[in-house]
Amino acid sequence: MNPVQITDTQPADWVYVSEGGASIVFSYRGRKDPRFDGRVLRLRKTNVLGSGVTPSCDIDGEEPDDPMISFQNDIISQLVPQSFLPELDAVLLDSSWLHALERLHNGDRPLERRMKDEIDKGRRKGVLATDLIGGEDTIAVEIKPKWGFLPKAHHLSEETVAIKTSTCRFCMHMFLRSEEGEFLSEYCPMDLYSQDEARVKKAVQNLWTGWAKSNGSLNNLRIFASGKMVKPAHDSYGHLVDLLAGGEPLTSRTDPKDAFISLLVSMLLSSRVLEVISTLQRMLDALDIEGLSKLHLEKAKSGLTSIITDPTYDDWRDFVASYRTGYCTWDHANPDPANTNCYLIAYLLSATFKDCSIILRIKQGNHSSHSVSIIDLDQKPINRLGKWEELDRVIVQRYRSASQQKRCIDQYLL
């Protein structure tokens, strides 16, 4: 089926939803059209100096589909149940249409984002995805759960083993950020992933507290009501309260925080989504970045910073086939240097699942329509390995200076 044309809509038919480091999302609000109803438009960004990489065309002069589509359809879908994945389709773009969209909606974007990047208007193709946050009388909650495991001690150094096997990566990283002046969240991913009701409730409470205290600026929790992002100190908060109340009279409403936490805990405990993500994270990152670095040095006689060539698509396919057949039974405590490339790809894929988000969609008065999905499953570039290794070193080094060190409990290591 040929991709649809974005010019079959008007820029005013789309409303700004949110954005991350690589892409920006708009939701369709135009006249009824089965090609666009219930869809969002995901567009790649470039920095304001225009140094982003626009994909090269193939021999027929056609730009390939956004790699997000093929990566999900061919790689991610082999590891994650299809029920957790949104539909992704290519859409043909137009430069003048994108300029008009940007002029119309740039003021809706956070100032710090506008100063850094903009829509990549040189792209010829974008992505139409399932709209997971829109819809009247619908609450959508985006959680970025982050790392859901503690590493095993096999490949850790004497300097890092005690800290890394006691405190999770997220909590150590939050300490570093707080030392640099950022808000210190009490949220710990180990609680969210635990599948223990009391701990999951604690995690959601801490996510809400961080969201409220930061006025919605932390990216671990975003809340949408009827398709619009909610901020604690904004009129949109009142609409969220109305939806959480479920039509009850004002005088009989429970605290919106309590209603929110109760709803989310129930949904998380009844879904396998966090179990799927955590299992993939820990299996794919079997060596920790320290072990991966030592293994690569043993085979290639060079550090991770020397790796700049991304895996080919055949490499990705071969790895997924290996993961589904033999990888999980390998002796990861004593990795074979012949499997170094496989471990490199596995680590890249683990990074995708460490950085993904889940969307919990709640339709007021219709519990059967509740759903949970995983988004932001982009392929990570291999040239980040050296940066991740250095960041890991800095995080642990700085955490040693903490006056009180947290004890994070990995349920799967008990």
Rounded to whole angstroms, the Cα distance separating 193 from 409 reads 10
Give the single-character DSSP code of 406.
-
Mean confidence (pLDDT) of the chain: 91
What local confidence, expressed as pLDDT, does residue 253 receive?
A: 54
Rounded to whole angstroms, the Cα distance separating 305 from 384 reads 8
Q: 42-56, 327-341, 370-384: lowest mean pLDDT where? A: 42-56
Q: What is the pLDDT of residues 29-74, one digit of tens each?
A: 999 999 999 999 999 999 987 655 555 554 445 778 888 999 999 9
Rounded to whole angstroms, the Cα distance separating 39 from 13 reads 12
Give the single-character DSSP code of 194.
T
- Distances in Å between the Cα of 20 and the Cα atoms of 113, 216, 349 are 9, 15, 19
CB 124 within 8 A of CB 92: yes
Q: What is the pLDDT of residues 250-277, one digit of tens each?
A: 445 567 889 899 999 999 999 999 999 9
Burial 88-113 (b: 16+ CB within 10 A, else e): bbbbebeeebbeebbeebeeebeeeb
What local confidence, expressed as pLDDT, does residue 59 receive?
A: 45
Q: At what angle do helices 236-245 and 256-269 cross, to 10 degrees?
A: 60
Q: What is the pLDDT of residues 154-176, one digit of tens each?
A: 999 999 999 999 999 999 999 99
pLDDT over 70, % of the chain = 93
| Residue 66 main-chain phi, psi, to 5 deg | -55, 130
- Distances in Å between the Cα of 117 and the Cα atoms of 6, 21, 46, 50, 383 are 22, 9, 5, 9, 21
Q: What is the pLDDT of residues 281-309, one digit of tens each?
A: 999 999 999 999 999 999 999 999 999 99
What local confidence, expressed as pLDDT, does residue 54 receive?
A: 54
Whole-structure pTM value: 0.90
The side-by-side arrangement of strands in the sheet containing 221-225 is: 228-229, 221-225, 138-143, 357-363, 371-375
Cα-Cα end-to-end distance for the chain: 50
Rounded to whole angstroms, the Cα distance separating 45 from 232 reads 28
At position 409, the amino acid (one-letter code) is: I
Reported as half-sphere exposure (CB side, CA atoms, 13 A), residue 377 has a value of 28
pLDDT over 90, % of the chain = 74
At position 71, the amino acid (one-letter code) is: F
| Residue 127 main-chain phi, psi, to 5 deg | -125, 130
Q: What is the pLDDT of residues 102-129, one digit of tens each?
A: 999 999 999 989 999 999 999 999 999 9
Instruction: Give the rounded distance of the alpha carbon of 35 from its chain centre.
Output: 26
Work out the pLDDT band at 1, boundaries 50, 70, 90. low
DSSP secondary structure string for all residues of 292-325: HHHHHHHHHSS-GGG--PPPPHHHHHHHHHHHHH
What local confidence, expressed as pLDDT, does residue 117 receive?
A: 94
Q: What is the mean pLDDT of residues 90-97?
A: 96
What residues have CB less than 8 Å from 179, skipping those under 6 apart? 398
What residues have CB less than 8 Å from 29, skipping those under 6 apart? 13, 14, 15, 227
Nearest residue to 247 via CA among 343, 326, 166, 137:
137
Give the single-character DSSP code of 82.
G
What local confidence, expressed as pLDDT, does residue 245 receive?
A: 79
At position 175, the amino acid (one-letter code) is: F
Nearest residue to 316 via CA among 338, 291, 294, 345:
345
